[in-house]
Structure 1
Amino acid sequence: MTRQLTLGLVGLIALSSAVSMVHATKEATPDSAIDDVEIPTFKSTKIEAPFLEQFTYGWPQNWHTSNATKESSDNGEIFSYVGQWSVEAPHVFSGMKDDLGLVAKTPAAHHAVSASISKPIDNTEKTLVVQYEVKAQNDLVCGGAYMKLLTDSNDGIKFKEFSNETPYTIMFGPDKCGTTDKVHFIFRHKNPITGVYEEKHLESAPQSKVGRITSLYTLVVRPDQTFEIKINNQVMSSGSLLEDFKPPVNPPKIIDDPKDSKPTDWVDEAKIPDPNARKPDDWDENAPPKIPDEKATKPDDWLESEETEIPDPEAVKPEDWDDDEDGDWVAPLISNPKCQGRGCGPWIRPLISNPNYKGKWSPPMIDNPAYKGVWAPRKIPNPNFFEDLQPSRFEKIGAVGFEIWTIQNDLLFDNIYIGHSVKDAETLAAETWEVKYAVEKQLEELANPTKKNEDSKEKSKDKELTLEENPVAFILQDLREFFAMLRKDPSNAVNTNPLSVFVLSGIVGVGFGLMLIILGLKSGVSNESATAQTKKSDMPTADDKKQGGEDEDASASGSAISANTTDEQPVRRRTNVAGDAE
């Protein structure tokens, strides 16, 4: 009986295996295809720049995490930069082998890390190019991914104290949370008269593009005061430093005199009621706006004695209705059938507009003879006026930093370029981003085949069935195709319709398993009856001992398999801890 039950269970397991194979068929193609994707190996660039970071050799000595605290501007709450950083390879759609990046590891935390620039960057009369990659491996719902170019200081930049208060020259990059979704471009400009710095924000900032596929962000500022913002090598915004930032770089030459005030006798009402106007004698303010139409007549078929609604003659009081508890039963009302197409009830004249209605009288408005016009303060020269026609001569840049807060972790930054050559930045992008982007897109399409074709599916009038959306119809369609092909070419039918083969195998396995279980149960009942008749004591027989030995051997064997299957396999782990040497 034990053997028969075991065979039956094997049959049931066949169904489970068939179902698993069905799903495996659906996913096998992407998995095998992903394994076949040729992934290039990262190679360090030969490009040189004032600052270029690919996180290869020597990065631990240059990057420093912050131990600073940050005070909230809303309620004064103090936060610490507890977010951990790591340099590691991406774990989502890795487009290059051995390609490492700087990763913000802690969810819902403030992160701050910075790196020095060996020689401060002076952008006087030069083109400034800022470029880096962003990869939000867990997508980016709420968080910043912008970079700050820290202002050089005679006292040196205190990397351990890097925070939101640290002076920066330029802030550039994506920021997304709630209604905010844009690419920041902010530069700090020094007032040459007062010496006070003021942030200049790009007014029409482009929308960000951050996801699990690596995005490339590029900022180009030229000596002619023009700028470009590119995302994935496409220009998303361009303009002038002198015209497209708020507040503007240069203040107005003429301003309102802050000491001037409107005279007390200034009249700025252009119109006044006519003091000489009088209400006409025939003006009736009490006349109603609507009056009954005296010309209207009652229609000949109007039934004044009939009600518009009557009790439903077919309604019956429910059997469980209790007048003492529920009250007197009243039949529900229905529309009176006699009133169909005609009026019922008391006839009332319709209302029409009153030709004598004039409303409340008010005097007409006339020009105010005392009107002096709209008052405005007098204009004076701006005592704080200055003119800086070359704001692209930014403050010297002494370091690079990421000071962000993000809900999602595993935000990766890579291939940071800060220099003066547009060509070198484009070459670096061609060597790195363009290569990995193409591979990552291919991996994404293979991992999510439905996403690749969703646009074409939406446009298709005859949308194909899918296993996820309608499994029953999908399997029936596949079975029909299988049997149709089976008559002509059995071998080809098996090869081209594996889903049908799996389903049929499962059905046969279930049927066979159930049959064996039933036979096993019947056999067990017969054996128990026969044993009860032949046994005369409770002492084990020779057969019992033999069977017991077989069961113990089987049990021991099963334990060994279980132990083997639970042995932990060695896992290769890579420890990536951001260096923090100073």
Structure 2
Amino acid sequence: MKWALLFAALVAAANAEVFIKETFDDSWADRWVKSKWKQSDGQAGDFTLSAGKWYGDAEADKGIQTGPDSKFFAIYASLDKVFDNTGKDTVVQFSVKHEQDLDCGGGYIKLVPATSEKQMDTFGGDTPYSIMFGPDICGYSTRKVHVILTYKGKNYLIKKDLKAETDQLTHVYTLVIKPDNTYKVYVDLKEIASGSLYEDWDMLPPKTIKDPKAKKPEDWDEREEIPDPEDKKPEGWDDIPATIPDKSATKPDDWDDEEDGTWEAPTIPNPEYKGEWKPKLIKNPAYKGKWVAPDIDNPEYVHDDTLYNFKDLKFVGFELWQVKAGSIFDNIIVTDDFETAKAFAEETWQKSKDAEKEMFDKIKKEEDEAKAKEAPPPPAEDGDEEEDEYEDSSREEPSHVGTINLPEEDESSGHDEL
């Protein structure tokens, strides 16, 4: 059995087709086109080739980095050929490093159909796409992985909340859509979500709906409890007043009955008053529960076996907005075989991730040490100055670690493009 599974995997890998594999070398600009979107009003940022401040391999880890801050970024490339995924898996994978410690902005990729070709010169937020996939971060409220699929001209966001990685290291995001209308999402080659396109998106209307013509029967009793018909009001209940004169009050000495009228003591709440009498409640023997209209088949529902199907995927691109720029995108692959994409991630990201983390830790340690040296000494406590006059002036002063202040996060919603 193991040999049969291995043979099947080898056959699938041999037949796998790769529609783009991009590692961003020095010739990357020959393959990628910067969109004219937002350029005329100066809101367009740019992409530059860089491995960033920390990396595992200075050359192999080069990708395209966004900059400067508070700009829109849009760039795209053509697939090697149009991808018709009829009967095939669709796998899109890429890596992104939010080196700048992204506070608000997108980090996702888009697959765009050939039908949008005439709009690609100004590829931007309004350009129709087929698949949008990847992380989106904005403050503490938005830290998720988008999976947005287009169906009959409308974009549908996955209903699950998928957590995005928010550190400053490189992470790999992989989406797999299968012709049986199931999907899987991986982060760093670990599965974080899977399920059905029918259940986790609202591309199709519900199979059943509440019958709009149904009406609640007149004798339907929704009261869980009712007044006890055998409970009787105690005698004298209504004779107890709500307030009584304050016996401790006395007429003011300057009160003049002729001018001020007859003095009456102010009233206070009567401690013996029990309020309006109501019979106690008992369970309603006729209770039938809350009435709900019965389900009927939805006349607008039409089953579709082709939710997964995109017949003309032609472009791949990034269309983003970032408050703080500096994200580095790398190692893009679009293929019809997950194992091929996995092997690509293992040859690129996996080989570099440990060395990148080691370099990151070293740089952060050096930065912390530099901040500690630059931090001012704490104010002298009472008696310290006087004590210093008697102590040896050559004694070594202790070091003091500065305080790192975290910036306030913007709680506004992320760059969700639906």
Q: Normalised by the size of structure 1, how large is the TM-score?
A: 0.50
Query: In the alignment, which residue of structure 1 is the partner of 2:168?
Result: 212
- Say yes or no: does 1:251 pair with 2:220: no
Query: In the alignment, which residue of structure 2 is the partner of 1:404?
Result: 320
Contact 2:69–2:324 (CA under 8 A) maintained in structure 1? yes
1:449-460 equivalences in 2 (<5 Å): 449=365
Q: 1:81 to 1:401 in 2, by over 3 A?
A: farther
Query: In the alignment, which residue of structure 2 is the partner of 1:570?
Result: none
In 2: Cα distance, 1:161 partner to 1:213 partner: 31
Once the two structures are superposed, residues 161-214 of structure 1 have per-residue CA deviations (whole angstroms, 9 ceiling, x without a partner) of 212221111111000002100111111123xxxxxx333322223211144321
In 2: Cα distance, 1:438 partner to 1:368 partner: 67
In 2: Cα distance, 1:363 partner to 1:444 partner: 73
Contact 2:66–2:326 (CA under 8 A) maintained in structure 1? yes
Query: In the alignment, which residue of structure 2 is the partner of 1:111?
Result: 73
Q: 1:400 to 1:218 in 2, by over 3 A?
A: same
1:466-545 equivalences in 2 (<5 Å): none
Contact 2:92–2:174 (CA under 8 A) maintained in structure 1? yes
- Say yes or no: does 1:280 pair with 2:242: no
SS in 2 for 1:204: coil
1:237 to 187, 193, 216: 193
SS in 1 for 2:237: coil
Query: In the alignment, which residue of structure 1 is the partner of 2:110?
Result: 148
In 2: Cα distance, 1:184 partner to 1:285 partner: 69
Query: In the alignment, which residue of structure 1 is the partner of 2:151?
Result: 189
Offset at 1:468?
9.2
Matched to 1:404, the amino acid is L
1:163 to 108, 124, 131: 124
Q: 1:361 to 1:125 in 2, by over 3 A?
A: same
Matched to 2:49, the amino acid is E
In 1: Cα distance, 2:157 partner to 2:29 partner: 33
Offset at 1:81?
7.6
SS in 2 for 1:158: helix
Matched to 2:303, the amino acid is E
In 1: Cα distance, 2:131 partner to 2:42 partner: 21
Q: Which has the higher strand share?
A: 2
Query: In the alignment, which residue of structure 1 is the partner of 2:135?
Result: 174
SS in 1 for 2:78: strand
Offset at 1:101?
1.4
Matched to 1:281, the amino acid is E
Once the two structures are superposed, residues 468-504 of structure 1 have per-residue CA deviations (whole angstroms, 9 ceiling, x without a partner) of 99999xxxxxxxxxxxxxxxxxxxxxxxxxxxxxx89
Contact 1:83–1:105 (CA under 8 A) maintained in structure 2? no
Contact 1:174–1:208 (CA under 8 A) maintained in structure 2? yes
In 1: Cα distance, 2:157 partner to 2:195 partner: 13
Contact 2:50–2:328 (CA under 8 A) maintained in structure 1? no
- Say yes or no: does 1:420 pair with 2:381: no
Contact 2:45–2:73 (CA under 8 A) maintained in structure 1? yes
SS in 1 for 2:185: strand
Contact 1:228–1:239 (CA under 8 A) maintained in structure 2? yes
Contact 2:23–2:331 (CA under 8 A) maintained in structure 1? yes
Which sections of structure 1, spanning at least 5 residues, go unmatched?
Answer: 1-46, 71-78, 191-196, 290-353, 453-465, 473-502, 506-582
Offset at 1:146?
0.6
Contact 1:287–1:358 (CA under 8 A) maintained in structure 2? no
Contact 1:285–1:360 (CA under 8 A) maintained in structure 2? no
Query: In the alignment, which residue of structure 1 is the partner of 2:353?
Result: 437
In 1: Cα distance, 2:239 partner to 2:124 partner: 72
Query: In the alignment, which residue of structure 2 is the partner of 1:66?
Result: 35
In 2: Cα distance, 1:266 partner to 1:374 partner: 13
Identity %: 34
In 2: Cα distance, 1:443 partner to 1:101 partner: 17
Matched to 1:362, the amino acid is K
Offset at 1:446?
2.2
- Say yes or no: does 1:51 pair with 2:20: yes
Offset at 1:406?
0.4
In 1: Cα distance, 2:344 partner to 2:222 partner: 66
Query: In the alignment, which residue of structure 2 is the partner of 1:134?
Result: 96
In 1: Cα distance, 2:54 partner to 2:288 partner: 72
Offset at 1:134?
0.5
SS in 2 for 1:83: coil
In 2: Cα distance, 1:234 partner to 1:378 partner: 42
In 2: Cα distance, 1:230 partner to 1:362 partner: 62
Query: In the alignment, which residue of structure 2 is the partner of 1:360?
Result: 276
In 2: Cα distance, 1:410 partner to 1:367 partner: 65
Contact 2:92–2:333 (CA under 8 A) maintained in structure 1? yes
Contact 1:285–1:358 (CA under 8 A) maintained in structure 2? no
Contact 1:68–1:81 (CA under 8 A) maintained in structure 2? no
In 2: Cα distance, 1:396 partner to 1:268 partner: 57
Q: 1:504 to 1:132 in 2, by over 3 A?
A: same
Offset at 1:110?
1.4
In 1: Cα distance, 2:183 partner to 2:194 partner: 5
In 1: Cα distance, 2:50 partner to 2:117 partner: 32
Matched to 1:158, the amino acid is Q
Q: Normalised by the size of structure 2, how large is the TM-score?
A: 0.68
Once the two structures are superposed, residues 243-279 of structure 1 have per-residue CA deviations (whole angstroms, 9 ceiling, x without a partner) of 223x2x4333332344x37589787653665789753
Query: In the alignment, which residue of structure 1 is the partner of 2:416?
Result: none
Please tell me whether Structure 1 or Structure 2 has the larger radius of gyration of its CA atoms: 1
Contact 1:269–1:368 (CA under 8 A) maintained in structure 2? no
Which sections of structure 2, spanning at least 5 residues, go unmatched?
Answer: 1-15, 244-270, 379-393, 397-418
SS in 1 for 2:341: helix
Matched to 1:216, the amino acid is V
Contact 1:134–1:210 (CA under 8 A) maintained in structure 2? no
> What value does the CA root-mean-square deviation take over the aligned residues?
4.0
Q: 1:430 to 1:95 in 2, by over 3 A?
A: same
Offset at 1:91?
3.1
Q: Which has the higher helix share?
A: 1
